[in-house]
Amino acid sequence: MTVKVTKPAVNLRETLAELQKPSGVAGEAMLRAETPQEQFNLIGAGRNNLIINGDCRISQRGDFTTASGSTDETYYLDRFEQNHSGPIVTKQHITTNQPSEISNTKSWKLVATTGATGFFGTRQTIEDYKLFNGRAFTASAYIKTNNPSVRFYLYNGTSVVTSDAAIADGQWHRLEATFNLDASAGDRLAIEILAISSGGSSITVNTGDYIEFTGLQVELGKVATPFEHRSYGEELALCMRYYEVLDNKGFQAVGVVPATATSREAPINFLVTKRAVPTITIDDTTNSNVGFYRFSTLTRDNGSNAAGQISTSNFLHGSTGVTAGTVGEMVAVDNYIYIADAEL
């Protein structure tokens, strides 16, 4: 004789909740994760953060520890571009009193020094934005502000989405927001921290309004995980893929100037391969920092300097105005600087 036994379906999550099992916040998050990828992200397996320099430690463009003027659509802190319209805004790199939840970080502070109708903040454009097409992702950051309209602002090239506003009590709070990126959306993805309206419109900005942030993180999934710390060396290398300052004091390149030419070229290699062919800026004020020294007379030929045959890995520094048919070496003196810029 065959006996059939039936049992009602069991909802494991509800059953665990009824048992009042002390699973904690992390355990609840694991139970509520909808995909293996979300669970993968929650336990910290692999890299989470697609933001570079989210802890604001890298600043190759200068020491901005004193408040100074800021220009819209200009990079100062590595990988972060200023974004403001209306008020005059100062920028400052803050090195102390960051949130206790994340140690060994710095923060970036923007202050409106005039009142106006507009907005102000900063943005980072993510290179591999197509990873997010049709998927949910979560942005989080520690923010300190006195402006009640500071929020995340998502720009994808064609439209914008804003988050809830940060708490404007002048204390550190972590702002979190989950977005869904339409697979048919635009051709970029920029995460911005802005004082702006919930619809992405201008607001009244008062003198003294400020935004300070650190610990910016963007990750796949619907849960904001703890900020992912990377070593200073790794973070610097990631930044240098977009922007690199080469201090080439004392570089030497021995060679012969052809009998019918008055120019000499020296190869300069980047420390990190760039994401695209960069723009090269050479610090050659009055052409006095580099020259071609003739071995025969130890005479220095100064000339005009330029970069040529630029690739993602190197370029040729050319110096014109040297003596034809001579043998010598091209030498940089003082602090001779090259800047390679491949920002998005």
The alpha carbon of residue 335 and the mean position of all alpha carbons in its chain are separated, in whole angstroms, by 26
In sequence order, what are the beta bridge partners of 155? 160, 190
Domains in the chain, CATH or no CATH each: 21-240 (2.60.120.260), 243-341 (2.60.40)
Element containing residue 85 per DSSP (H, E)? strand 81-85
Residue 81's φ and ψ, nearest 5 degrees, are: -110, 130
Task: Please answer whether residues 61 and 75 qualify as being in contact, where contact means their C-beta atoms are separated by less than 8 angstroms.
Answer: yes
Q: What is the mean pLDDT of residues 132-147?
A: 92
Whether the pLDDT of residue 8 is over 80: the answer is: no
Residue recorded with tokens 């610990």: 215
Instruction: Please tell me the predicted confidence (pLDDT) of residue 196.
Output: 97
Q: 7 or 79: whose pLDDT is higher?
A: 79
Whether the pLDDT of residue 11 is over 90: the answer is: no
**Buried/exposed 125-156: b ≥16 CB within 10 Å, e otherwise:** bbeebeebeeebbbbbbbbbbbbebbbbbbbb
| CA separation for the pair 339, 61 (Å, rounded) | 9
Distances (CA, A) of 52 to 56, 152, 191, 215, 230: 9, 17, 12, 10, 10
Residue 119: pLDDT band with limits 50, 70, 90: very high
pTM, to two decimals: 0.83
Least confident of 2-16, 204-218, 266-280: 2-16
| CA separation for the pair 152, 177 (Å, rounded) | 8
Q: What is the mean pLDDT of residues 272-291?
A: 79
Q: What is the mean pLDDT of residues 222-248?
A: 93
Full DSSP string of 177-244: EEEE--TT--S--EEEEEE--TTS--EEEPTT-EEEEEEEEEEESSS-PPP----HHHHHHHHHTTEE
Whether the pLDDT of residue 129 is over 60: the answer is: yes
